[in-house]
């Protein structure tokens, strides 16, 4: 439809001839927009009547841009990434459907992002990243002029320490799973692989002679699908070899399932895509704190780091391009950190001169711990107080007058308690 209205603005015409887009806004009435459109078409189709044919800046409908972006992501990126982009794209279309890309400005995007930040700042920042990628995609194809999301700043995020399940919890979750799911979970743990890499693992990627597994990832620049080889541990060898002996020759995948497809209204056999419900049910059954499949990857990285594996080796096993990404996976306190803090604790500045007393304050001056004032007998103490007073007695023993008073009260309380005990025994 070349003539349409926008609520609150008016009517506009929008058409493309010979690869050039022509549009004009905002007419109060539809017939005005149609009349102007007809005149413009006549002017473009009859060059002799065209004095100056001015084409508007390149532009396209927002919905058309989103569809082209989705087609590109589906062709060049992983199915998981496509699902994420599709999830956000549906929200964008609902927000800005019927608008041209040039009509969407930074103020509109900022308002949308702020609304999404009510869920979380991570959600808002993800919207910014995906919107930037959308408009950059259009600019690279030279179908739009600018990126209105480029000026939107990312919101500050309070980073939380990722939950890494305890070793006992991992074993407990695996133990309550069925045999097929146990194989799947062990494959994740023993390779440090992403869920999608195990989902699409084929028998061609398993080398029993070399005892290695080839994992493929599409999380690279330009969407390239690149392989990496991970050594096959004995336990993983036993799991995969047993599955290989009992495999279905018609199925190339190591892990696959049969499911009902609502799209074709029939059963389909193929690799797993998303298994979120599995972890939810297993954690509940094992009575452990809920964690997802990706936590197995963090778990494996932390174990490798804890046993002293160089970070460069961990980086290659995990398939990270950036070393900083690998560092984000290492959550355990390694021996290097422990040794450094131990050396710090050995410095005199950070160690107590005297053994700590658990029922007394430890942050006292040196003289507090090294004082050696001995309390005299009660009769001697009373005689000194009578002759010298509390202040003089304190000077004699190197303590304060308040300390002398406490000594005396302590003695008197002991005497009082002793008398009470004696009376109770005689009765």
- Give residue 37's pLDDT: 84
Q: What is the dihedral sign for C-alpha 228, 229, 232, 233?
A: negative
- How far does CA 306 lie from the centroid of its chain? 21
Residue 258 corresponds to which tokens in the numbers above? 């049969």
| Residues 216/197, Cβ–Cβ less than 8 Å | yes
Q: Is the pLDDT of residue 165 over 90?
A: no
pLDDT class of 378 with cuts at 50, 70, 90: confident
| Residues 174/95, Cβ–Cβ less than 8 Å | no
Residues 6+ apart with CB under 8 A from 49: 42, 43
Q: Summarize pLDDT for 94-151 with one digit per residue, the tens.
A: 999 888 888 899 999 999 999 999 998 989 999 999 999 999 999 998 888 889 999 9
What average pLDDT does the structure give for the chain? 83
Q: Summarize pLDDT for 24-48 with one digit per residue, the tens.
A: 877 888 888 888 888 888 877 776 5
pLDDT class of 53 with cuts at 50, 70, 90: very low
Q: Is the pLDDT of residue 191 over 80?
A: yes
Q: Is 68 left (phi over 0), alpha (psi -120 to 50) or beta?
A: alpha
- Give residue 54's pLDDT: 45
Task: Give me the mean pLDDT over the 259-274 stretch.
Answer: 84
Residue 302 or residue 161, greater confidence: 302
| Residues 199/271, Cβ–Cβ less than 8 Å | yes
Rounded Cα gap, residues 200 and 273, in angstroms: 9
Rounded Cα gap, residues 112 and 106, in angstroms: 10
Task: Give me the mean pLDDT over the 299-315 stretch.
Answer: 87
Q: Is the pLDDT of residue 222 over 70?
A: no
pLDDT class of 217 with cuts at 50, 70, 90: confident
- Give residue 366's pLDDT: 54
Q: Is the pLDDT of residue 176 over 90?
A: yes
Q: Is the pLDDT of residue 349 over 90?
A: no
Q: Are strands 256-261 and 266-271 parallel, antiparallel or unpaired?
A: antiparallel
- Give residue 419's pLDDT: 77
Q: Tell me how far CA of residue 147 lies from CA of 134, 142, 254, 333, 383, in angstroms.
A: 9, 12, 43, 43, 93
For the chain, report the end-to-end CA distance as a whole number of angstroms. Answer: 111
Residue 9 corresponds to which tokens in the numbers above? 């603005």
């Amino acid at each position: 439809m070349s003539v349409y209205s926008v609520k609150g603005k008016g009517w506009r015409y929008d058409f493309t001839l010979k690869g050039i887009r022509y549009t004009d806004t905002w007419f109060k009435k539809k017939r005005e927009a149609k009349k102007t459109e007809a005149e413009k078409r006549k002017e473009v189709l009859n060059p002799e009547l065209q004095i100056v044919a001015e084409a508007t800046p390149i532009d396209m409908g927002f919905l058309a841009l989103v569809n082209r972006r989705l087609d590109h992501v589906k062709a060049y990126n992983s199915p998981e990434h496509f699902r994420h982009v599709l999830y956000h794209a549906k929200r964008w279309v609902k927000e800005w459907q019927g608008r041209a890309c040039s009509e969407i400005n930074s103020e509109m995007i900022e308002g949308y992002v702020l609304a999404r930040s009510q869920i979380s700042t991570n959600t808002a920042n993800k919207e910014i990243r995906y919107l930037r990628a959308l408009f950059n995609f259009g600019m690279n194809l030279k179908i739009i002029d600018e990126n209105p999301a480029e000026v939107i700043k990312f919101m500050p995020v309070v980073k939380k320490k990722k939950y890494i399940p305890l070793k006992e919890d991992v074993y407990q979750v695996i133990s309550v799973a069925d045999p097929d799911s146990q194989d799947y979970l062990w494959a994740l743990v023993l390779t440090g692989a992403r869920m999608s890499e195990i989902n699409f693992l084929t028998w061609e990627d398993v080398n029993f002679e070399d005892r290695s597994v080839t994992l493929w990832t599409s999380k690279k620049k330009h969407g390239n699908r690149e392989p990496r080889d991970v050594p096959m541990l004995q336990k993983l060898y036993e799991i995969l070899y047993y599955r290989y002996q009992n495999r279905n020759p018609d199925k190339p995948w190591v892990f696959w399932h049969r499911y009902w497809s609502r799209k074709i209204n029939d059963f389909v056999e193929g690799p797993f895509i998303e298994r979120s419900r599995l972890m939810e049910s297993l954690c509940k059954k094992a009575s452990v704190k809920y964690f997802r499949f990706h936590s197995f990857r963090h778990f494996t990285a932390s174990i490798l780091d804890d046993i002293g594996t160089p970070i460069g080796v961990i980086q290659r096993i995990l398939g990270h391009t950036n070393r900083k990404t690998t560092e984000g996976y290492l959550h355990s306190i390694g021996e290097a950190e422990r040794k450094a803090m131990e050396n710090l604790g050995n410095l005199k500045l950070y160690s107590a001169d005297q053994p700590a007393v658990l029922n007394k304050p430890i942050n006292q001056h040196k003289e507090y711990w090294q004082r050696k004032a001995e309390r005299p007998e009660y009769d001697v103490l009373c005689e000194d107080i009578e002759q010298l007073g509390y202040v003089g007695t304190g000077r004699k023993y190197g303590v304060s007058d308040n300390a002398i008073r406490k000594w005396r009260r302590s003695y008197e309380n002991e005497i009082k308690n002793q008398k009470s005990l004696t009376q109770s025994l005689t009765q």
